Amino acid sequence: GQNIDQPTEMTATEGAIVQINCTYQTSGFNGLFWYQQHAGEAPTFLSYNVLDGLEEKGRFSSFLSRSKGYSYLLLKELQMKDSASYLCAVMDSNYQLIWGAGTKLIIKP
């Protein structure tokens, strides 16, 4: 079957760095996405990786290792507004997104 695993919840301190991991087993691979979802709101796109390596976009970076079925999202200089759920999703061989349950990130002052 297809499976996306990520931690249920993480806590970090304002100004610090946090890494949210995602492992996946899917039928085919056409890229990995990270989305941010604030409570009660819609998911919004953060990043897309299809090749191995690190993609950096401001305070956020995303890493992919296809051979290990592994990705992480790195958030630097954490701000209170970064408190949200972070969703990992893999596009499978049918070009459909398979979603993880999300990681709720709590930022403490």
103's tokens? 């990681």
Report in angstroms how near the CB of residue 64 gets to another protein at its nearest.
Answer: 13
Is 7 a binding residue for another protein by CB under 8 A? The answer is no
Report in angstroms how near the CB of residue 109 gets to another protein at its nearest.
Answer: 27
CA-angle at 32, arms to 93 and 46, nearest 5°: 140
Strand partners, 108: 13
Q: Checking DSSP bridges between strand 32-37 and strand 103-108, what pairing results, if any?
A: unpaired
Give whichever of 78 and 87 is closer to another protein, judged by the CB atom: 87
Report in angstroms how near the CB of residue 20 gets to another protein at its nearest.
Answer: 14
Is 74 a binding residue for another protein by CB under 8 A? The answer is no
- Specify whether the CB–CB gap between 1 and 15 falls below 8 A: no
Which of residues 11, 25, 38, 41 is near another protein by CB under 8 A? Answer: 41
